[in-house]
Amino acid sequence: MSWFTNDARTQEGALQSATDRSSDAEMRQRVAGVDVEVPVYDGPPSPYVNVDNAATTPPFNCVLDTVYAFRQYYSSVHRGTGFKSLLSTHAYEHSRQVMTGFVGADPSYHTVLFTCNATHALNKLARRLRLSPEDAVIITLMEHHSNILPWRQQGCRVLEAKVKGNDGTLDVGDLEDKLRRNAGRVKAVSVTGGSNVTGHMPPYRRIARMAHEHGAWFVLDGTQLAPHRPVRMGAPDDPERIDFFALSGHKMYAPFGCGLLVAPRKVFEDGPPDLVGGGTVHAVTSDRVVWHDLPEKEEPGTPNVVGAVALARAAREFQEIGLDNLVAHEQDLTRYCLKKLMAIDGLRIYGETDPELKRDRLGVFALEAKGFSHGLLAAILGYEWGIGVRNGCFCAQPYVRELLGVSSDEMNRVLDKLGAGDHTSVPGLVRVSLGMYNTRDEIDYLADALRSVLAHGPKARYVLHPVHKDYVPEGWHVDYDDYLPL
């Protein structure tokens, strides 16, 4: 029995293959919930248009099928002699093999650790590098908080490479300058593979080469990149290799609480793990501990077997689609969306806006609408049009502040208001983010909605929710238990 596929192609062949099965309709058939109708203000239920994929993606149908098939065999892994335990152990470790191949890791050099998500992975890595106050880590101003705060917690110097004000792209020259000025003290350069705000993809191979030339590790936060572009770790002696790689399953159509950290084995072999307990040891006495080998040493407690299986099945689905084919499909959607959004009067797009994509970028768009706060615009799209977007700073507050030109004094005033319970003045943007299953028709619908809102305003009167402080239509009420009773 296999819950992944019987496909015998090599990983390299799978990554480079392009099939004829990738029409919009077929892409949508792979994803759950794409035709669900939702309640809207002052009208009949409307098909939900989900353009909030940078936050989380819906599951692949094949992932749901795999999890459902696995349910009757699920058991505790490792050291069990019952059939269900043996089968669960096989499924868990086979999932690790699948993910090793998916990112092009070398089993003799790398360890592939299952984590809760990319945030967990980056925290684990930051603690393991055991940085001192004299050490420096270089990140960029466009990073997600999960690639900022773990480094700050270590007490080392955290240096932020600048972005260019006109389009929010990374200033690679400033990053290189910081490497040179801090020669011998930079222990790691940690960069996003793709911005969750503007869709900008830094030239991470070039940055990796620069980091290695200065004796630093290179870390890639692949949370936004992995669902959209192929990623290969590179050989251990490749000057453009990725040393550490993190991703989250819930952004890869496998939302079951599993992520990944890929790292050189030697970094994690010596010393105790960051979390200790069951599963991490060979033996414990009153005064001694013999730690387990990798990867078990770094995966304490009963692991998320279902999440690992789901992530591996999602990786197989990407291989079946063909990542080159997926890239071409999503680039087409990105070009189309840029053209439609740029034609709307009163709408501003932050980031790269070349609809011909002379420089590749992800299908993530940060928007500002004239006359509307980000919170109000997002609410109108959701309640009146059935369109799921996200608003705010997207856990990338330094980057959004830079894009918006918010000064430190302004931000301090906002923080004071936040402390007093006033959320209305928080700076932010509205984000549209595409997934493989979105269509041109959905983009047309989004553009029509934005054009209508900017021209005519909302249908409802919006008030702030007394608890959540978000905008809601006055008098709006939905019993969510009707949709999902627990």
Let me know if 337 is a catalytic residue. no
How far apart CA 451 and CA 171 sit, in angstroms, is: 34
In three state form, how does the secondary structure of 365-430 look? Answer: EEEEECCCCHHHHHHHHHHHHCEECEEECCCCHHHHHHHHCCCHHHHHHHHHHHHCCCCCCCCCEE
Q: Which helix (H) or strand (E) holds 159?
A: strand 157-161
* 42 phi-psi bin (left φ>0, alpha ψ -120 to 50, beta other): left
Q: Contact 462/453 with Cβ under 8 angstroms?
A: no
How far apart CA 350 and CA 152 sit, in angstroms, is: 27
Residue 398 carries which side chain, given as an amino acid letter? P
CA atoms within 13 A on the CB side of 404: 25
Q: Report phi then psi at 220, rounded to 5.
A: -115, 120
Maximum pairwise Cα distance, the chain: 73
Q: Is the dihedral of CA 348, 353, 355, 361 positive or negative?
A: negative
How far apart CA 113 and CA 244 sit, in angstroms, is: 11
Rounded to the nearest 10 degrees, what angle do helices 374-385 and 440-456 cross at? 120
Q: Report phi then psi at 421, rounded to 5.
A: 90, 10
Nearest to 137 by CA among 186, 205, 88: 186
Q: Say whether 334 sits in a helix, a strand or coil.
A: helix
Q: Say whether 115 sits in a helix, a strand or coil.
A: strand
Q: Contact 187/137 with Cβ under 8 angstroms?
A: yes
Select which of 62, 337, 393, 395 is catalytic: 395
Catalytic residues: 395
